């Protein structure tokens, strides 16, 4: 992706929030035909976090943002633009961004929700980056936030075990150093894959009705095997493509930061990139698939654990419903 603007964008602050309620695999064993061993072996997930019934996704987004403001000494009124990629907004409209902006008093910002499923974070990141590169804005907040527990059918073992809730935020700021921060991105969509992973009802095609509710059409529906195959190929191909385009060898990369949908997809991607396990950020065992939150939550946790240092080359990679997929190459700065 070309940058003809005067600035590069860099991540100047990062934060995450996961709810307190831990849901272990044994909870699903208690009422579904599944086992802790199957879930760990096939997905890598040991537990996930759930928001309470009265906590919408904006609650998690606010927690992550408040934590970022506090840790990095940023004031709400400094934010120019807020973008929230999410498939689980509080409601279709007003946007979750408007709800969060009001709750946190970010009175000088505008913003919007974005829909790109599991690629939501990197699509939103690259959208925010444009406003920084051009010089239009100085502080852009990108917040992946999800309440996947509200979209999963509790009686479907194929999907419910996979997902969790949470939110993570990154702040983008400009630098005149064009060799640091977000350097490059390759983003793709292929709508012919839409039928394999979707939430069919609740939009204008199938508005809520007794029939849609009875048939469970408001839940996540997935052909897991097809999505798995496409994800392995898509994530690995695009990660290799961005490495090649930027003359990066495996030894140049500090971390792959992959979307956390399935540990086997992550491992297959790392293998194709010839990266050892210690160079792959992983938190799926603790949180499951939190859709737009997975990548920034990895960044935040590894940063807080002191595992990131300025100048580290990172490859962010994702694949999700749509199909949507892509990779971002960035040089860590904080
Ligand atoms: N417990 C026990 N058995 C389960 C199960 C569970 N929680 N979920 C599914 N199964 C069963 C299936 O019913 C199937 O049984 P069958 O052969 O009798 O029909 C069997 O396990 C194997 O199904 P399969 O789809 O081949 O399993 P898998 O190894 O591919 O794992 C997923 C299933 C969903 C974990 C995996 O396909 C996956 O991760 N897919 C992609 C997810 C993803 O990337 N999403 C996109 C981005 S969000």
- At residue 250, the pLDDT reads 97
- Is 118 a catalytic site residue? yes
For the chain, first and last CA: distance in Å? 23
265 CB less than 6 Å from ligand 1? yes
- At residue 257, the pLDDT reads 98
- At residue 135, the pLDDT reads 97
- Is 109 a catalytic site residue? no
The helix (run of H) or strand (run of E) holding residue 185 is strand 181-189
* pLDDT tens per residue across span 21-60: 999 999 999 999 999 999 999 999 999 999 999 999 999 9
pTM of the model: 0.97
Give how far Cα 189 sits from Cα of 118, 137, 192, Å.
12, 27, 9
- At residue 251, the pLDDT reads 97
Name residues whose C-beta falls within 8 Å of residue 264's C-beta, 6 or more positions apart in sequence: 42, 43, 44, 228, 232
- At residue 188, the pLDDT reads 98
Specify the ligand 1 atom closest to the Cα of 39: 7
158 CB less than 6 Å from ligand 1? yes
List the Cα angle 265/266/269 in 5-degree steps: 85
289 CB less than 6 Å from ligand 1? yes
- At residue 173, the pLDDT reads 98
86 CB less than 6 Å from ligand 1? no
- At residue 314, the pLDDT reads 98
- Is 62 a catalytic site residue? no
Which of 146, 228, 269, 326 has the most ligand 1 atoms within 8 A of CB, as the residue to mutate?
Answer: 228
DSSP string for residues in 56-112: -HHHHHHHHHHHHHHHHT--GGG--EEEEE-SS-SSSSS-HHHHHHHHHT-TT-EEE
- At residue 242, the pLDDT reads 98
Q: What domains appear along the chain, each with residue ranges and CATH number? A: 8-175 (3.40.47.10), 181-331 (3.40.47.10)
Q: Which residues of the chain have pLDDT under 50?
A: none
- At residue 26, the pLDDT reads 97
Name residues whose C-beta falls within 8 Å of residue 68's C-beta, 6 or more positions apart in sequence: 13, 14, 15, 74, 141, 169, 171
């Amino acid at each position: 992706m070309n940058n003809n603007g005067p600035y590069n964008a860099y991540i100047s602050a990062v934060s995450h929030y996961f709810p307190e309620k831990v849901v272990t695999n044994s909870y699903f064993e208690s009422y579904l035909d599944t086992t802790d061993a199957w879930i760990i072996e096939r997905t890598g997930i040991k537990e996930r976090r759930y928001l309470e019934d009265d906590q919408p996704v904006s609650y998690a987004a606010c927690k992550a943002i408040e934590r970022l403001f506090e840790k990095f000494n940023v004031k709400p009124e400094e934010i120019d633009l807020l973008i929230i990629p999410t498939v689980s907004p509080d409601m279709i409209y007003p946007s979750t961004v408007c709800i969060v902006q009001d709750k946190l008093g970010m009175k000088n910002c505008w913003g919007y929700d974005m829909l790109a499923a599991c690629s939501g974070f990197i699509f939103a990141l690259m959208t925010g980056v444009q406003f920084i590169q051009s010089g239009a804005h100085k502080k852009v907040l990108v917040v992946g936030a999800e309440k996947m527990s509200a979209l999963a059918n509790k009686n479907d073992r194929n999907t419910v075990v996979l997902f969790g809730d949470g939110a993570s935020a990154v702040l983008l700021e400009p630098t005149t150093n064009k060799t640091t921060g977000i350097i490059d991105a390759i983003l793709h969509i292929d709508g012919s894959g839409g039928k394999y992973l979707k939430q069919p009802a609740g939009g204008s095609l199938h508005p809520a009705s007794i029939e849609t509710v009875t048939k469970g059409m408001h839940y996540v529906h997935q052909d897991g095997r097809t999505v798995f195959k496409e994800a392995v190929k898509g994530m690995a191909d695009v990660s290799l493509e961005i490495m090649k385009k930027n003359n990066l060898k495996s030894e140049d990369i500090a971390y792959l930061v992959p979307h956390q949908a399935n540990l086997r997809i992550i491992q297959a991607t790392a293998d194709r990139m010839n990266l050892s396990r210690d160079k792959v950020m992983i938190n799926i065992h603790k949180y499951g698939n939190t859709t737009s939150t997975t990548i920034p939550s990895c960044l935040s946790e590894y940063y807080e654990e002191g595992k990131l240092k300025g100048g580290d080359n990172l490859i962010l990679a994702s694949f999700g419903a749509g199909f949507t997929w892509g990779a971002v190459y960035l040089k860590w700065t904080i």
